[in-house]
Amino acid sequence: MKRQTSWLLVLVAFATLLSSTLAASPTSFCKCTCFGNSTIVALDSPVSQKPSPGSPVDRAAKKTCSDCNRQFCLSYPFCKNEKEENVFTTCFQRDSAKDQAVVFIFIIATVGLLSYAAVRPWIEQWAERSRQRRSYIPVSGQADQ
């Protein structure tokens, strides 16, 4: 019964971890290259205070990769006075919590399997010795000698 309870607890913990990682979304970034220097700007940066609807801060918090263009980069001070054809943009996303959880679970599973493979010969030897000790029954006439 204890074994079933522990497996149920592991299953519930895994389901909780899975549901929280599926709800997470990756962070998008825009890489602007102006004057030979590259600057990375977070597109969906969190806003510390609640802005009024339609304000510039509100619109900046809702940007996507489609907003990462030359005009977007030219609006920042690091690209002022640069020609539009000399500005290069790239949009990318940093790993989400879901990706990190998958990698973390894979690493734990791999380390667990490798550890078991390394310890398995000693476990088998111990189990064999234990079986041999249990199967030994002294004959009653020879035990007194």
Domain ranges of the chain: 28-94, 95-134
pLDDT at residue 48, rounded to an integer: 43
Q: What is the pLDDT of residues 114-144, one digit of tens each?
A: 999 999 999 999 988 888 877 766 667 655 5
Of 20, 96, 99, 107, whose CA–CA distance to 12 is shortest?
20
pLDDT at residue 136, rounded to an integer: 67
Give the three-state DSSP class for 78. Answer: helix
Determine the Cα–Cα distance for residues 135 and 141; give it in Å rounded to an integer: 18
pLDDT at residue 49, rounded to an integer: 45
Structure tokens that stand for 24 in this block:
């997470």
Burial 62-92 (b: 16+ CB within 10 A, else e): ebebebbebebbbeeeebeebeeeebebebe
CA end-to-end distance (rounded Å), the chain: 46
- How many CA atoms lie within 13 Å of 112's alpha carbon, on the beta-carbon side? 6
pTM: 0.45
- How many CA atoms lie within 13 Å of 86's alpha carbon, on the beta-carbon side? 9
pLDDT at residue 14, rounded to an integer: 72
Which residues in the chain show pLDDT less than 70?
1-4, 6, 17-25, 45-62, 136-139, 141-145
pLDDT at residue 75, rounded to an integer: 87
pLDDT at residue 114, rounded to an integer: 96
